Amino acid sequence: MLTGFWYRALRSEEVRPRQLVPVMLIEVPLVCGRTDSGQAFAMRDNCPHRGIPLSYGWFDGQNVQCSYHGWKFDACSAQCVEIPSLTRDDKLDPNKIRAGHFHCEERDGYLWVFIPDPGTSGEANAPAPVLPTFSENYRRTHLWAELPSNVDHGIIGLMDPAHGPFVHSAWWWRKRDSIHEKEKHFEHIPLGFRMSAHVPSKNSAPYKLLKWYAGDADVTTTIDFVLPNLRYETIRAGKYWFASLTTVTPITRDRCRIDVAAAWNIFLHVPLAMTIARHFGKQFVEQDRQTMVQQAQGLKHNPSLMLIDDADKPAKWYFQLKASHLESKRTGQPFKHPLAGPVTLHWRS
């Protein structure tokens, strides 16, 4: 599990006014919320006094108060502002005490939390990732599922082209007998790789629909994977577009969550378009979840596993990117990218 990155901790709609929400993220217990002035925050869910989770306490819209001895902390800075047991003669200055604190940004319907490398200041090295959009008017939706898997299995599921016709076999997506050979070009991007803009698979109904909707415009798809867990997909067809940012977030060593945020500017005025899109999207995520549940059954017995060329090449790159990143952090040497230049892969799906 990689530190020094932003992660989606929870969906904005899970945080109600004046509520403290406990959430586990990369094995760090957090308590999240939003102040009355609308600022999202994330603290470590342990009181610095005796360790009880702060999420059992109270939140007045600005300060979090521990349920054990009532110490109060400013939610945004985590600085202690009051210790009720102190007398006038006590020398202790509460302001010198801080609870654990994490950078938190709310964006695209999520609370993003920066998990710093151990022993660093905790300062985020960049803003939280953004779901790209290409026009003023668009619709947006969110889908999610918890997976009983280590984050690596969740992530390689994101970039695994060969499972489509089997796991996602459906009349509206693709069928097993529609498998055909594909050639895809890849290039390197910072901390990741890109499946270069290409004409999307013709064997799926959504692409046919988009093609029909966009008239003469050429349809192209670009898919990026970026460490630690980000998969961006952008489909453009003239002035129409669809974009998604999918993440697989480590909760603990053997649990993760897939979150999909998708936005588009097609069918904006068609009644029920959102309901229909969500219906199919949910089906898709559920198929992946089911597969992960089944895979977890098999993995309990520690079988040996394989990654083959070319269909599993993106998964290999993921492991190499991770290893290079950790190596460069350990040694201070520049990051060695596993893709030296453009690469073409072939597989059937």
Residues that bind ligand FES (CB under 6 A): 47, 49-50, 52, 66, 68-69, 71
Question: Taking CB within 5 to 8 Å according to partner kind, which of Fe ion, ligand FES, none is near residue 71?
Answer: ligand FES
Q: Is the Cβ of residue 259 or residue 288 nearer to Fe ion in the bound state?
A: 288
Measured from the CB atom, the residue of 168 and 188 that comes closer to Fe ion is: 168
Smallest distance from ligand FES to CB 73, Å? 9
Ramachandran class of 285: left when φ > 0, alpha when ψ lies in -120 to 50, beta otherwise: alpha
Q: Is 233 in the site for Fe ion (CB under 5 A)?
A: no
Please report, for residues 24, 96, 134, 255, 263, the alpha-carbon distance to residue 214 in angstroms, rounded to integers and kept in the order given: 43, 60, 15, 40, 17
Residue nearest to Fe ion (CB): 288
SS3 263: strand
Is the Cβ of residue 50 or residue 175 nearer to Fe ion in the bound state? 175
3-state secondary structure of 53: coil
Give the one entry of Fe ion, ligand FES, none that residue 288 binds, where binding means its C-beta sits below a cut-off of 5 to 8 angstroms depending on kind: Fe ion
Q: What whole-number distance in Å separates Cα of residue 346 and Cα of residue 308?
A: 12
Pick from Fe ion, ligand FES, none: which does 233 bind, CB < 5 to 8 A by kind? none
**Pick 7 or 71: Cβ nearer ligand FES:** 71
Contacts (CB under 5 A) with Fe ion, residues 268-297:
288
Burial environment of residue 300 by CB neighbours within 10 A (0 to 12, 13 to 18, 19 or more):
exposed
Minimum CB separation from ligand FES for residue 102, in Å? 19
Cβ distance 15 to 104 under 8 Å? no
**29 and 53 Cβ atoms separated by less than 8 Å:** yes
- Kindly state the smallest distance separating residue 155's Cβ from ligand FES, in Å: 37
**Amino acid letter for position 274:** M
Residue among 42 and 258 whose Cβ is closer to ligand FES: 42
